[in-house]
Amino acid sequence: MTPLLVPPKVPETRSDRVVLRDISWSTYQALVLELESQSGKHLTYDRGTLEISMPLPPHERFKSWLRRIIEIATEELEIEICSLGSCTWSREDLQKGLEADKCYYIQNESRIRGKMQIDLTVDPPPDLAIEVDISSPSLPRLPIYAALGVPEIWQWNGKQIKLLQLVQGRYVERSQSLALPSLNSEDIDRWLLEAQSMGETSWAKAVRQLGCGVWGVGCGELGRGNYSLFTSYALPLYIGTYALPLYLVGVNGR
């Protein structure tokens, strides 16, 4: 009898990602370590299936804008956070792992403060993760986040933000953030739209100013007051016998 020839498994490929099947946990962990220094590659693992993705510039832009929104809000609201970037989260007992685009400890910040090693079998997962899904992943990531117990995901699909909260093992869309209740999807959508037509520094200042008005707090640094309306005051500065004008700049209404 002629033996049957089994063709080798061909990886599923797209321009920005590749999917591999029948990958062992040890191989996945070895790749995590091997690619640790290559920030442009993200790994997602689910029970033997491994996806390697290479984020494109639009993905990185929206990720950066969402990061700035979170940092501005927590600074002005004086909320302590722990930012862990695109950290790898995995559990061998679940045979699942992934790298968030960005992730944060907020409610549980004090529990992991100072820890260099976090074990999800004993430590809490991040309170918030950012997912930019402009091009749909081949390997669904939300079920992995749910298995790891991440309470909230901010998912940007290229058109709008979805604030997803974990409820009985599945994510449900809400209009208000769980980790940062002062933020809502309407404001975030508007800020992301504005970011696409503004310089990033000017945009971040505008978000800080507008956010402080919404949150009812006084903005720190240059966020205070109206950026376009400044008042200058001239006071004499005496150096020896010479009087020179010293200009002090203040923000109108402060």
Residue-wise DSSP of 133-151: -SS--SS--HHHHHHHT--
Among 142, 218, 151, 209, which residue's Cα sits nearest to residue 180?
A: 151
d(CA 142, CA 91): 15
Print pLDDT tens along the chain (254 aa): 444 444 345 455 455 789 999 999 999 999 999 888 776 788 999 999 999 988 888 889 999 999 999 999 999 999 999 999 888 999 999 999 999 999 999 999 999 999 999 999 999 999 999 999 887 767 899 999 999 999 999 999 989 999 999 999 999 999 999 999 999 999 999 999 999 999 999 999 999 999 998 888 877 654 444 433 223 333 343 334 444 443 333 333 33
The residues pairing with 174 across neighbouring beta strands, listed in sequence order, are 163
* Residue in the block written with tokens 């956070």: 81
Tell me the C-alpha distance between 146 and 212, whole Å.
32
Q: Are 208 and 219 within 8 A, CB to CB?
A: yes
What pLDDT, on a 0 to 100 scale, did the predictor assign at position 37?
A: 74
Among 17, 77, 75, 80, CA closest to 50: 17
Confidence (pLDDT) at 241: 40
Structure confidence at residue 134 (pLDDT) = 81
List b or e across 36-75, with b for residues whose CB sees 16 or more CB atoms inside 10 angstroms.
eeeeebbbbbbeebbbbbebeeebebbbebbbbbbebbbb
Residue 67, pLDDT score: 96
Alpha-carbon gap, residue 218 to 77, rounded angstroms: 9
Task: Check residue 228 and give its pLDDT.
Answer: 35
CA–CA separation, 178 and 106 (whole Å): 10
Measure the CA–CA gap between 182 and 106, rounded to whole angstroms. Answer: 13
* C-alpha–C-alpha distance, residues 130 and 61, integer Å: 13
